[in-house]
Amino acid sequence: MEEKVKSELKKIFGFSQFRGNQEPIVDNLLKDRNTFVIMPTGAGKSLCYQLPAVVSEGTAIVISPLIALMKNQVDQLNAIGVNAHFLNSTLTKSESNRVKSEVLAGKTKLLYVAPESLTKEDNIEFLKSAKISFVAIDEAHCISEWGHDFRPEYRKIKSIVAQIAPELPIIALTATATPKVQQDIQRNLHMESADLFKSSFNRTNLFYEVRAKVKNETKKQLIKFIKSHKGKSGIIYCLSRKKVEEIADLLRVNQINAAPYHAGLEPSVRMKNQDDFLNEEVDVIVATIAFGMGIDKPDVRYVIHYDVPKSLEGYYQETGRAGRDGLEGHCLMFYRYEDIIKLDKFNKDKAVTERENAKILLQEMAAYAETGVCRRKFILNYFGETLEEDCGYCDNCKRERETFEGMEPLQTVLEA
């Protein structure tokens, strides 16, 4: 890699070194090769296209699904002196015209585009006339129905890119590592021969545990667990808004400093509760899965699933919010098969294939919860990775050792 690229890493982004696979990825893209990046959340995917964009001639198109995050990224880039803009439905006609003229003047290094805007005829015409360096497809799992956030518009990207310029290099990035999603992405983008950079998804500092969910008993266990982590930050995920409220109340009655978070709360209340959690005014946030996107609190010490999640993929993403600082993170799930059945019933009005897909994801989730093998092995295997040895750091690994070493009767082991 040219020295210039490395010096821009420090000069513009302020990083003294590349992390993980960033260097070979940047290098690969700068050689105009199609590049497929699979890296866990927080690993630093944005830099893999932002740095090449800055050092390349022309404008890089970045396709990103979330309007809020798009604005955030553009603001951050502008703040470090990189000329970046976005095109999405929040802009007025005259604002988007201004963005377009900046791009045509050759000043813009990165243009973030919402998939809905990319498919608009006049935007396609405009992009044809601009000098484009490459196309980055962030959150590329949105292409796949097996991903956790399917966006039909994402499936049109490839044909539009082909209209803009057939030979444009593409970099696709995602934190979703299941082989099914990976295949879908590669097929849909005609990227079967792209160079693949896949990082390990093993989070060695996370302890995985599943306990049987038993009426009355589980609430007591929950309170006991939280009290044994007094003053530490934790997240509790529940399936419904009602459950979130109920558990938050339960914790508060038991002198635990907890706050609820779900989409049904007034935006101002929701925001305050989130801020209180981030600023440590509140120890525990009880939330639906609406909580967590883009949240980067490094010292979350535990994530509890009071209800079983809809997929192992979702479980991995949610538990991944624990121990971001590399220190202890305890991931505890309460499980009973009835919850799987309940989730399946929620899908009854969906189209047949969609429901079938959801059912398979749920079955995989149940298999994880009920497995006797090393949990980390199970999770990594789901992501197409092999762990040679048992991890020794999950309930199943610990339990096995206890039985062997202590010769405890099986009953006490099962109760643990």
The residues of the shown chain that bind Mg ion, judged by CB under 5 A, are: 45
Non-local (6+) Cβ contacts of 366 within 8 A are: 308, 337, 340
Residue nearest to ligand ADP (CB): 44
Given the structure tokens 């045509």, which residue do they identify? Answer: 104
Q: In the bound complex, what is the minimum distance in angstroms from residue 313's beta carbon to Mg ion?
A: 16
From Mg ion, ligand ADP, none, interface partner of 377 (C-beta below 5 to 8 A by class): none
Amino acid (one-letter) located at 31 = K
Counting residues that bind ligand ADP (by CB under 6 A) gives 13
46 binds ligand ADP (CB under 6 A): yes
Of 39, 51, 256, 259, the one binding ligand ADP (CB under 6 A) is 39
CA angle at residue 209 from 144 to 239, to 5 degrees? 55
Q: Which of 409, 402, 326, 355 is CA-nearest to residue 43? A: 326
Asked if 43 touches ligand ADP (CB under 6 A), the answer is yes
Of positions 6, 8, 12, 47, contacts ligand ADP by CB under 6 A: 47
320 binds ligand ADP (CB under 6 A): no
Query: Residue 47 binds what, of ligand ADP, Mg ion, none (CB under 5 to 8 Å, by partner type)?
Result: ligand ADP
Q: Would you call 37 helix, strand, or coil by DSSP?
A: strand
Gap between the Cα atoms of 331 and 347, Å rounded: 27
Q: Is 65 one of the binding residues for ligand ADP (CB under 6 A)?
A: no
42 binds ligand ADP (CB under 6 A): yes
Identify which of residues 50 and 273 has a Cβ nearer to ligand ADP in the complex.
50
* CB 42, min distance to Mg ion, A: 8
Please name which of 50, 63, 74 lies closest in space to residue 172, comparing C-alpha atoms.
63
Distance CA 20, CA 93 (A): 41
Torsion of the alpha carbons at 117, 165, 197 and 51, rounded to the nearest 10 = -70
Binding mask 6-25 for ligand ADP (x = CB under 6 A): ---------x-xxx--x---
Q: How far apart are CA 237 and CA 288, in angstroms?
A: 5
* Minimum CB–partner distance for residue 362 and ligand ADP (Å): 26
Which residues contact ligand ADP (rule: CB under 6 A)? 15, 17-19, 22, 39, 41-47
